[in-house]
Chain A
C-alpha cells in the first residue's frame, strides 16, 4: 500500500505550546480526505509540515515516501499546496501568476489552467488585487493543479468563501481530483461541505489524531440510540458510548457499534448520525478514539 502521507509520533512546538503532540497518521494514495478539527487543533501545522514549510520538532513525516524538508526535490514537484489566506503576489496579473508557476515547475500544464480560468469567466489580464475571495481561491487552485501534482493539500480553502463560491470551488476541485486520480487532503472547520466531496476523514483535536477512517465506514459504525431514562452507566453489549445526554424524559446515546453486532434494546430507537454529529460527539469527548482496524486498512489499500 502506497501512502501519500505518513506521520509517526510527530511533534511540533511553537515556543512553549505543542501544536502537534505524538501525532501519527497514514493516508493511502487516491483518497480525498477531510482534515477537520476546531481552530488551533493543529490542522494547518500538519499541512505545512507535509509540504516542508515547517520542520518537525520530533518524530517523522513522509509524503509520497520522502521527507518533505530533507528531500524537497522529490516531494515538491509532486505536491500542490494551497496555503491559508491564499497568498498571491500583489500587483501581479493572473497571467503573471501563471507564468510564475510555469517558471518554477518542471511539469506545468498551462493550457488546462487557462481553460479552467476562462471557463470560470476570470480574465487572465486582471490583477490579483482586484479579485473576489472566490476568484482568488480559484486562481490559486488553478496554479496548484497546473503543477500536475499527485497529492494536493489545501489549508482552509473554504474559510473566506460565500456558499456559492464554496460550491463552485469544491466542484472544480472534485472534477480535477476525479480526472487525474489525485490524492487530496483538505482542511476545514466546516464539516457540512466536506461530507459531499470527501471519502476519508481525519479528525484532529488538541494536537492529536482522534478519528481516522473512510467516511462511509464511520457513518455505518456510528448511530444515535434514544430510549427511556436510564442510569448514566448503562451498558449495552457490543456498543461503545461516545457521548450521552439525559433529560427527564429520555436518554440519547451517541454510540459506536457494528449494526450486526448488537441488538437494539426494547424501548429504544436507533437512527443514523450525520458526519457532523459524529465529529461533534468526538470533539466533546477527547478520550474517545476511532481508528480503522489494521486488517481493514490492509484490505482497503
Chain B
C-alpha cells in the first residue's frame, strides 16, 4: 500500500520537498543576515554602511515572512486538495477500492503518509522560524513573527493540509477543492488572528504614558475613563478635543486636566509561548475534526 501511495503522489512529494528546502534556505539566509547585523550593531554602533545593510535585513525579513505566510496555503491547495479529489475525479477510486483493501485503510494510510512527514517538516521550519525571530532580536518584536515560527506555524501547515484533503473528499473535484481550501484557510486564519488571538488571555491595561515592557504586543486602540473610572467613548473625547480648538501642550495632558485618563492595552512578552501553544491547539483541533469528518465521509458515503 505504501508503494502505491508513493507511486501515485511522488510528484507532489518531490515538489513539497523542494518547497521545504527552499523555505529552509531562505530562513538560514535570513538568520545569518540578522545575526551579523545585530552583532555589528552591538560592537561598531550605528554607521551608514550598517544602516544600508539593515535595509537588506528588512527586505529579507519581508521575503521570509511572505514565503512562510504562503507555504501553508500552497500545501493545502496543491497537496491536500488533490490527494483524494483526483481519484474521485478520474474514477480511479473505483479501481483502488475494488482491490483487496478497505476504505478505512485507504484513507488513513494515504492521509498519514502525507500528514506525518509534512507536519514534521513544518515543525522543523517552525524551529528555524523561532531561531530567526531570536536573531532579529531588538531589530524586531517577536510578536511580529508570531505566524512564522514555533508551534503556530507548524499547526497552520497541518490545518491547511487537513482542510485541503477534506475539501477534496467532500467536493470530489480537485480544482473546486483547491479553491475552497484556500478560501477557507485564509478566512479561518484571519478570523483567529483578528478576533481570537488578542483575547486568548485578557490584555494588560496601562496608562498611556507609562512604560510598556520591551517585546510586548501593544494594541492600537486607546481606551478612556473619567475620574470615577467609567468608560468614556472615543466620540465624546473627540467632541471635547474639537470644542477646545487649539490645545496647549499634549493631548494627554489636556485630557488629564479634564479628568480623563487614557489607557492602552498590551500582551506582555512572557505570554508569547503560551499564546503560541493556545493558537496551535486551536488549529490542531480543527485539523483533527476535518480529518475525522473526511474519514467518516469516505467510510460511509453511499455513492
Contact = CB atoms under 8 A, between A and B. Distances in A.
A101 B3 contact: no
B99 A101 contact: yes
A81 B92 CA distance: 12
Contacts of B300: 55
B192 to A, nearest CB: 37
Across the A-B interface, the 5 shortest Cβ-Cβ residue pairs: A104-B99, A55-B302, A83-B94, A87-B91, A81-B98
Contact of A72 (B93, B102, B303): B102
B43 to A, nearest CB: 57
Contact of A103 (B4, B91, B93, B97): B4
Nearest to A51: B98
B91 A54 contact: no
A53 B95 contact: no
Interface in B74-107: 90-103
A87 B95 contact: yes
B92 A88 contact: yes
Contacts of A90: 90
A11 to B, nearest CB: 12
A147 B173 CA distance: 29
Nearest to A81: B98
A6 to B, nearest CB: 19
Interface stretch (A92-100, A211-219, A286-294): A92-100
Contacts of A89: 7-8, 92, 95
A54 B103 contact: no
A74 B303 CA distance: 20
Which residue among A76, A100, A104 has the maximum number of chain B CB atoms within 10 Å of its CB?
A104
Interface of A: 14, 48, 51-55, 57, 72-73, 76-77, 79-81, 83, 85, 87-90, 92, 96, 99-101, 103-106, 147
A178 B95 CA distance: 24
Contacts of A101: 99
B1 interface: yes
Contacts, number: 71
A57 B90 contact: no
A247 to B, nearest CB: 47
A106 B94 contact: no
Contacts of A88: 92, 95
B12 to A, nearest CB: 12
Contact of A104 (B101, B103, B301, B303): B101
Which residue among B3, B100, B101, B303 has the maximum number of chain A CB atoms within 10 Å of its CB?
B100
Contacts of B4: 99-100, 103-104
Which residue among A52, A72, A96, A105 has the maximum number of chain B CB atoms within 10 Å of its CB?
A72
21 contacts: A14-B303, A53-B93, A53-B94, A53-B303, A54-B303, A57-B302, A76-B98, A77-B100, A83-B95, A87-B90, A87-B94, A90-B90, A99-B7, A100-B4, A100-B7, A100-B99, A101-B99, A104-B96, A106-B100, A147-B99, A147-B100
Contacts of A54: 302-303
Nearest to B104: A72
B45 to A, nearest CB: 60
Nearest to B95: A87
B101 A76 contact: yes
B97 A53 contact: yes
A103 B3 contact: yes
Contacts of B91: 83, 85, 87
Contact of B100 (A57, A87, A92, A105): A105
A267 to B, nearest CB: 55
Contacts of B301: 55
Nearest to B303: A54
A106 B101 CA distance: 10
Contacts of B90: 87, 90
A100 B103 CA distance: 16
Contacts of B3: 99, 103
Interface in B261-303: 300-303
Given A99-B7, A103-B4, A81 B94 contact: yes
B7 A52 contact: no
A53 B94 CA distance: 7
Interface string B1-13: 1011001100000
A83 B91 CA distance: 9
A110 B222 CA distance: 75
